[in-house]
Amino acid sequence: MVRVELTDEKSAAAVAARCAAAAGKAALPAHARAKILLKAAEALEASAEDFARLICAEVGKPLKEARREATRAAFTLRWAGEEARRVVGELLPLDLDANSEGRCAIVKRVPRGPALFITPFNFPLNLVAHKVAPAVAVGLPFVLKPDPRCPKSAEKLIGLLIDAGWPAEAAIVIGGPLPAAEALVRDERFRIFSFTGSTAVGWKLKALAVKAHSCLELGGNAAVFVGKDADLPWAAARCAWGAFCYSGQTCISVQRIFVEQEVHAEFRRLLVENIKLLVVGDPADEKTDIGPLIDEKSAIRVEEWLKEAVAKGAKLWAGGPRSGLVIPPSLLEGVPAGCRLSCEEAFGPVATLDAVSSREEALERMADSRYGLQAGVFTNDLAFIHRAFERLPVGGLIVNDIPTFRSDAMPYGGVKDSGTGREGVRYAMEDFTEQKTLVLKS
């Protein structure tokens, strides 16, 4: 691994040149790329507890959630190792008209070129894995800029890949101020730009990456519908976890809950009961569910949004005053449309609850967002599920579970302000490669 601290545009240009020069080193055969990823997955599994405790120390993620992240990251590497052997092309007969008689085409997928990855703090291991593992699987050199608050998790993962055989020259990890990173984004030697983070920063950087194929995984204010035919205890338990795990610092955290009027009061009672069961405390404690937010600025912002909603008439069913970086899990009902909690991404331990008089109203309100990452519906009404799937402008719809659910093998990403492109190992590999055609004449 090459570690570089960017200082200015000149140092950024040197990094881009270095990465581009490593393209040959990264062009390993498929069996070698697969072996590297599988070996790294085994090493990660063997040191999962060390990774979990490092994540907990770096970003304050509760230890049990950090362990879950380490397990997921190992799966991500292992799945990429499997997929590295399945980068296939196709043979096309071209005798479809008289001008093409006697010809056929071989179409293969080839790496687009050097990649630039920028990752956030909230999943400092698995979100790095979701970028670098597909890059290794297709043979791409890359530059990685992890969040400066959690570089050690990323560096430790890259170290495992290099120990497993990935060329050190093809894995550059950088630090430094945002302007220097922007110079990298503008550098045309990078053919792929993949960013996970805030909506405002993501779209700004995409505008700078003029010639790169851009993949953005951005924010959301995920909506959930709970129908009168739902398993209410299950729905309440899952919504409580999905809204408040890791203090709501995930882009598919449950934020907006819409419940059919007939079961609204009962669901609210169950949800509040489940919220009371959540343990707020030291993230290093095995029992803790809710720990601190990442920094004081974030905690103050969430507190201000809560106060705004209450001042404008929202009812606070759960929650309490901020204590440093910690905000208790907060549930509000009847948040007015003009409040930031009703339309922006909270990215904190906050959820809103509203009754709806019809399923049509539920769909309209769920769709009324500038974001479109994932949504969840708790119902067994198959016709409604199909209608929701067709009408909700989201990248994924989760049935009888929360939008916070994600399998690391499935396509994952959003529409509207939530981004473009898809993660999920095989789907990222498709984004990181392009088709190249050879025409043969007999």
Helix, strand, coil shares of the chain, percent, nearest 5, are 45, 20, 35
What is the predicted pLDDT for the residue at 7? 86
Q: Alpha-carbon distance 305 to 359, whole Å? A: 28
Whether the full predicted model's pTM is greater than 0.85, yes or no, is yes
What is the predicted pLDDT for the residue at 181? 84
Count of CA atoms in the C-beta half-sphere (13 A) of 260: 16
Which residues, including other chains, have CB under 8 Å from residue 272's CB and lie 6 or more apart?
317, 318, 331
What is the predicted pLDDT for the residue at 86? 94
Q: How many CB atoms lie within 10 A of CB 425?
A: 27
Q: Taking phi first (over 0 means left), then psi (-120 to 50 degrees means alpha), and beta for anything else, what does residue 216 get?
A: beta
What is the predicted pLDDT for the residue at 358? 97
Instruction: Please check whether residue 272 is in contact with residue 265, taking contact to mean a CB–CB distance below 8 angstroms.
Output: no
Written as one string, the DSSP assignment of 160-182 is HHHHTT--GGGEEEEES-HHHHH
What is the predicted pLDDT for the residue at 191? 98
Strands (E), 305-395: 315-318, 330-333, 350-356, 371-372, 374-378
Instruction: Please check whether residue 187 is in contact with residue 13, taking contact to mean a CB–CB distance below 8 angstroms.
Output: yes
Q: Which residues of 350-375 are buried (b: 16+ CB within 10 A; e: fewer)?
A: bbbbbbbeebeebbebbeebebbbbb
What is the predicted pLDDT for the residue at 388? 98
Q: Alpha-carbon distance 374 to 372, whole Å? A: 6
Homologous superfamily assigned to 223-399: Aldehyde Dehydrogenase; Chain A, domain 2 (3.40.309.10)
What residue segments make up the domains of the chain, in order of their start? 2-218+418-441, 223-399
What is the predicted pLDDT for the residue at 298? 97
Could you list the active site residues?
217, 251
Give the tens place of pLDDT for each residue, 62-79. 999 999 999 999 999 999
What is the predicted pLDDT for the residue at 417? 98
- Written as one letter, the residue type at 17 is A
Closest listed residue to residue 151, CA positions, set 307, 6, 324, 345:
6
Residue with tokens 């609850």: 353
Homologous superfamily assigned to 2-218+418-441: Aldehyde Dehydrogenase; Chain A, domain 1 (3.40.605.10)
One digit per residue, the tens of pLDDT, for the chain of length 442 reads 789 999 888 899 999 999 999 999 999 999 999 999 999 999 999 999 999 999 999 999 999 999 999 999 999 999 999 999 999 899 999 999 999 999 999 999 999 999 999 999 999 999 999 999 999 999 999 999 999 999 999 999 999 999 999 999 999 999 987 777 899 999 999 999 999 999 999 999 999 999 999 999 999 999 999 999 999 999 999 999 999 999 999 999 999 999 999 999 999 999 999 999 999 999 999 999 999 999 999 999 999 999 999 999 999 999 989 999 999 999 999 999 989 999 999 999 999 999 999 999 999 999 999 999 999 999 999 999 999 999 999 999 999 999 999 999 999 999 999 999 999 999 999 999 999 999 999 8
